[in-house]
């Protein structure tokens, strides 16, 4: 125990000698400490008090206009061997990366307080949880880490008992985009971040630890660290199935995590439980099933698009004790963003609102709030052993080809579904329609090692005695010839989840196709939904010719990770392609 504490104190002293802070504060994670930090930030303008009558305990932070999002091109994964980082990551040799970062950190905390934040990702007592220590000079980071992790004395005690922790060093520096890097050292379990105060770059427990470093930890230790929501679906009999789902951005992850059942389902007694909205750590249990925890304790959500119509549960969650970042404000000092009623008077930069300057709230403006404030928060989120996962779901924004839902025939086929997933861009976003961007398992910006090795790690879970979840792919975004969405989405997605659960329980047969098992006629519950037969047929259509083109493109994509692409995955792609060709030949000869 003493040696662990010595190692931690030695590292803190080394960082202090390099950064030369005016003082050092070891965070205890208490409410008193949080309130002291808030008062300090209100005094120096880091935080602005919002309307305490309408939003008690809520504050606004405005970041530097050049520091409003993750910076992928400045985010590097520094394996000893460049090949281990893979084509999916930017790489720099560790020695060179350390030298570059330490030169930036030299004297950077002069006149500032250095905060030492011991934190635990996941419930303190869970064997699935992992700990870290972030050193930062930003009180805003400390306040957010208090909400997003289990931070303070209990985490420090676990670190002292275990003797293992991820080291994270962060400084806002001068907030100069030319002096900004986020470096990850997987072999050393170390993160160094300089020049940004933005969440994903500065809250090192989040994407940096919980995905980029943890994905390496997970591979070494035999588990999975994934960019997935975790949601519990309780049926009228009181049985709950837990589903983990991975979607790229703008595909409705938080909405699905906090789904509100359609009226008929609510009347029948269906309930939805939110375990997590962003990150999922899964480990095989003694019974062969995968068990999952949400390593986070809060939500760091995108504000724009969160409204009473799109996600009332999220809106209720952030009505108190929330830190807002880069939103607009109304005349009576309430937080505001596009999609809310009312009128902004001040934009996200603190200027009088003028539509000529663009949106009032920054498109990536955020809220940080405790997960416990969500009306559908599940107490199971604190279970030390995690929740058993019945189904894994992959999905993307595809206006054509991909059906509403399909089930993989086995684990290898499911891994192929996850590897092949992606979203098509829109003209509004990129100027080019229909450009498909593959984002395997929604992990492209977050997988901390070579994608070929990552696919192999996924495949390795198919062991004798394993009782793995069924794997599905969904597409809420298929469009008809009129360009309108065929499926209503939102709460009605529960109808699709119900079919998945029926498949898990062996209660429906489904319809076999070369690309997966789809709902057979009558298996999707459509009561109370105005969806005509033609739209349903289109949603579940399998275009043989289109799928042959898709499988060829998937083959090219997998080849881009050669020679590390697993042979089993290439074989699975060829199996599906051959099944499609066989059907086409049969149709042609008929």
294 is in an annotated binding site: no
- 250: annotated binding-site residue? yes
104 in Cβ contact with 91 (< 8 Å):
no
206 labeled binding residue: no
Q: Residue 515 class from Cβ within 10 Å (0-12 exposed, 13-18 middle, 19+ buried)? A: buried
Q: 490 a known binding residue?
A: yes
Among candidate residues 27, 251, 280, 447, the one labeled active-site is 251
User: Has 491 been labeled as part of a binding site?
Assistant: yes
Residue 253 annotated as part of some ligand binding site = yes
Structure tokens at 82: 């460049």
* 397 is known to lie in a ligand binding site: yes
368-446-242-407 Cα dihedral, nearest 10 degrees: 140
- Say if residue 249 carries a ligand binding annotation: yes
Residue 484 marked in a binding site:
no
> 152: closest CA among 33, 41, 295, 57?
33
Contact 47, 62 (CB under 8 A): no
552 is in an annotated binding site: no
The answer to whether residues 365 and 443 touch, using CB atoms and an 8 Å cutoff, is no
Per-residue HEC secondary structure of 147-211 comes to: HHCEECHHHHHHHHHHCCCEEEEEECCCCCHHHCEEEEEHHHCEEEEECCCCHHHHCCHHHHHHH
b or e along 350-365 (b: 16 or more beta carbons within 10 Å of the residue's beta carbon)?
eeebeeeeebbbbbbb
**200 carries a ligand binding annotation:** yes
463: helix, coil or strand?
Answer: coil
> DSSP class of residue 405?
E
CA angle 54, 57, 62 (to 5 degrees): 95
Q: How far is CA 587 from CA 97, 544, 547, 578, 581, in A?
A: 58, 10, 15, 14, 10
Consult the annotation and say whether 7 binds a ligand. no
Phi, psi of 170, deg, nearest 5: -135, 140
Q: Is 207 annotated as contributing to ligand binding?
A: yes
Can 447 be counted among the known catalytic residues?
A: no
Task: Kindly report the three-state secondary structure assignment for every residue of 213-272.
Answer: HHHHHHHHHCCEEECCEEEEEECCCCCEEEEEEECCCCCCHHHHHCCCCCHHHHHHCCEE
Residue 481 marked as a ligand binder? no
H-run or E-run covering 302? strand 298-302
Q: Is 201 annotated as a binding residue?
A: no
Residue 280 annotated as binding site: no
Q: Tokens 């504060």 map to which residue?
A: 25
Annotated binding site for substrate: 70, 198-200, 249, 364-366
Annotated binding site: 70, 198-200, 207, 227, 249-255, 278, 364-366, 397, 490-493
Annotated binding site for Mn(2+): 207, 227, 278
- Catalytic residues, by residue number, are 251
Annotated binding site for GTP: 250-255, 366, 397, 490-493
């Amino acid at each position: 125990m003493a040696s662990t504490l010595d190692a931690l104190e030695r590292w803190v002293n080394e960082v202090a000698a390099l950064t030369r802070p005016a003082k050092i504060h070891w965070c205890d994670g208490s409410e008193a400490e949080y309130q002291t930090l808030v008062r300090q930030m209100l005094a120096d303008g880091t935080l602005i008090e919002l309307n305490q009558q309408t939003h008690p305990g809520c504050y606004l932070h405005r970041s530097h206009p050049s520091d409003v999002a993750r910076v992928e091109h400045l985010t590097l994964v520094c394996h000893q061997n460049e090949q281990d980082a893979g084509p999916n990551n930017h790489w720099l040799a560790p020695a060179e990366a350390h030298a570059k970062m330490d030169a930036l950190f030299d004297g950077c905390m002069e006149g500032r307080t250095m905060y030492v934040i011991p934190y635990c990702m996941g419930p303190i007592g869970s064997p699935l949880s992992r700990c870290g220590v972030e050193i930062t000079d930003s009180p805003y980071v400390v306040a957010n880490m208090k909400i997003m992790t289990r931070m303070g004395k209990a985490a420090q005690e676990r670190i002292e008992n275990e003797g293992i922790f991820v080291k994270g060093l962060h400084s806002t520096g001068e907030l100069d985009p030319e002096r900004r890097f986020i470096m990850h050292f997987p072999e050393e379990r170390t993160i160094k971040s300089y020049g940004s105060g933005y969440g994903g770059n500065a809250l090192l427990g989040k994407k940096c630890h919980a995905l980029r470093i943890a994905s390496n930890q997970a591979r070494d230790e035999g588990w999975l660290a994934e960019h997935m929501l975790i949601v519990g679906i309780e049926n009228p009999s009181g049985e709950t199935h837990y589903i983990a789902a991975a979607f790229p951005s703008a595909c409705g992850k938080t909405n699905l995590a906090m789904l509100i059942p359609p009226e008929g389902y609510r009347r029948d007694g269906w309930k939805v439980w939110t375990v997590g909205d962003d990150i999922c750590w899964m480990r095989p249990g003694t019974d062969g099933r995968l068990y999952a925890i949400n390593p986070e304790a809060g939500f760091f959500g995108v504000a724009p698009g969160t409204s009473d119509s799109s996600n009332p549960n999220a809106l209720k969650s952030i009505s108190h004790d929330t830190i807002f970042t880069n939103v607009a404000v109304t005349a009576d000092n309430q937080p505001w963003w596009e999609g809310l009623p009312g009128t902004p008077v001040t934009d996200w930069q603190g200027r009088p609102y003028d539509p000529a300057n663009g949106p009032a709230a920054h498109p990536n403006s955020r809220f940080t709030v405790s997960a416990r404030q969500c009306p559908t928060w599940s107490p199971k989120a604190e279970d030390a052993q995690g929740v058993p996962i019945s189904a894994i779901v992959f999905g993307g924004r595809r206006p054509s080809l991909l059906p509403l839902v399909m089930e993989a025939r086995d684990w290898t086929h499911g891994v192929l579904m996850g590897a092949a997933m992606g979203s098509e861009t829109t003209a509004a976003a990129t100027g080019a329609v229909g450009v498909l961007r593959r984002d395997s398992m929604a992990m492209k910006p977050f997988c901390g090692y070579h994608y070929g090795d990552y696919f192999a790690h996924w495949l390795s879970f198919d062991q004798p005695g394993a009782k793995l979840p069924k794997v599905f792919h969904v597409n809420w975004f298929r469009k008809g010839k009129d360009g309108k969405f065929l499926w209503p989405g939102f709460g009605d997605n529960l109808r699709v989840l119900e079919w998945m659960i029926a498949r898990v329980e062996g209660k429906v047969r489904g319809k076999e196709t070369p690309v997966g098992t789809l709902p057979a006629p009558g298996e999707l519950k459509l009561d109370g939904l105005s969806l005509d037969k033609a739209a349903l047929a289109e949603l579940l259509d399998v275009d043989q010719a289109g799928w042959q083109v898709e499988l060829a493109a998937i083959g090219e994509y997998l080849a881009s990770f050669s020679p590390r692409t697993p042979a089993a995955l290439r074989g699975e792609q060829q199996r599906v392609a051959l099944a499609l060709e066989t059907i086409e030949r049969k149709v042609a000869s008929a």
